[in-house]
């Protein structure tokens, strides 16, 4: 197939592109390299890969046929989307609109990479796809949360009104090689701090929880969602919940570090608990994570040592 990946130079997008090329597909990456990196693609020497440098918030036309569109483009870390709030909203709204137009024109199937952040600071635990969320639209995370909530809404509108073939995934915390080590999210932050001989910055008392999915498991899930028939949102993530304090201690243990935990104030609207209910993914896809946290962290730390 000929497959478009928006945000294909990003962390998840580059891993997805790599896997699609391995399976023999032709891939067109559309990326403006605001948060993605050409370095993530340097190892992909394939005549089936083409890169279009473009901001998908602006209209785009591809002459050739397109069979599938994976829409992953968006700033995803708090540091990025709080620095780029308008661009984040535009890529969720205008960018999604433009790619849906492409899907309609090309009779292609489109998958939207949405996020667990559409649940906000959740009042339901674990989070099911039927939960509507607890989001502050005017808080510091609102630009990202609402961009993804709007993106889901317009995908459903195109599905129902124009009969465009669509899929929606909600990605929970994912980690692995090629994460930007300065993007502010907890995995690269802790790993880069410990490798630089610094203490680890924990916000709040560290009792807030996250659930970490290794990138290869996520990519396997994304591709399964694209090729199955259900058009409703599907959570993809690891249901193994861990507190941030426990997670920091695990990083210290795996690196044999002498680092201490330094506590600071919890950012506004930071979710207290985050854990996916992946019942639908198990039932529809036969999918669940396979890589343990320890194994995934070891791989990520080894990569980070070469890139810190």
Q: Residue 233: what are its φ and ψ, rounded to 5°?
A: -60, 145
Nearest CA to 3 among 51, 68, 100, 91?
A: 68
Separation between Cα atoms, residue 5 and residue 15, nearest integer Å: 11
Pairing of strands 109-115, 68-71: parallel
Question: CA torsion sign, 298 to 116 to 167 to 109?
Answer: negative
Q: What are phi and psi of 88, to 5 degrees?
A: -65, -45
Q: What is the DSSP letter of 256?
A: T
Measure the CA dihedral 63/69/70/71, to 10°: 70
- Note if 70 is an active site residue: no
Distance between CA atoms of residues 141 and 127, nearest Å: 19
DSSP class of residue 262 equals E
Selected catalytic residue, list 70, 81, 144, 158:
144
Assess contact for 95 and 70: CB atoms under 8 A.
Answer: no
Contacts of 161 (CB under 8 A, 6+ apart): none
Active-site positions? Answer: 144
């Amino acid at each position: 197939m000929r497959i478009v990946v928006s945000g294909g130079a990003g962390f998840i997008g580059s891993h997805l592109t790599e896997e699609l090329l391995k399976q023999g597909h032709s891939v067109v990456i559309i990326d403006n390299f605001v948060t993605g990196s050409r370095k993530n693609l340097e190892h992909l020497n394939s005549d089936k890969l083409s890169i279009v440098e473009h901001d998908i918030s602006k209209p785009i036309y591809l002459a050739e046929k397109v069979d599938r569109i994976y829409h992953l483009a968006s700033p995803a870390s708090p540091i990025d989307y709080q620095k780029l709030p308008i661009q984040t909203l535009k890529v969720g709204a205008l960018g999604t609109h433009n790619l849906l137009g492409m899907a309609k024109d090309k009779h292609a199937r489109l998958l939207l990479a949405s996020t667990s952040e559409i649940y906000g600071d959740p009042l339901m635990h674990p989070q099911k796809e039927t939960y509507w969320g607890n989001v502050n639209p005017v808080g510091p995370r609102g630009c990202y949360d609402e961009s993804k909530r709007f993106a889901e809404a317009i995908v459903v509108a195109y599905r129902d009104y124009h009969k465009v073939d669509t899929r929606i995934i909600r990605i929970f915390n994912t980690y692995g090689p090629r994460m930007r080590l300065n993007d502010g999210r907890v995995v690269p932050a802790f790993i880069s701090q410990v490798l630089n001989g610094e203490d680890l910055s924990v916000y709040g008392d560290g009792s807030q929880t996250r659930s970490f999915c290794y990138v290869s498991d996520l990519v396997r899930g994304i591709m399964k969602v694209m090729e199955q028939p259900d058009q409703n949102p599907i959570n993809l993530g690891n249901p193994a919940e861990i507190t941030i304090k426990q997670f920091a201690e695990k990083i210290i243990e795996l690196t044999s570090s002498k680092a201490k935990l330094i506590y600071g104030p919890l950012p506004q609207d930071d979710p207290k608990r985050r854990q996916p209910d992946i019942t639908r993914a198990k039932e529809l896809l036969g999918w669940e994570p396979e890589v343990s946290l320890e194994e995934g962290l070891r791989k990520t730390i080894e990569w980070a040592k070469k890139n810190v």
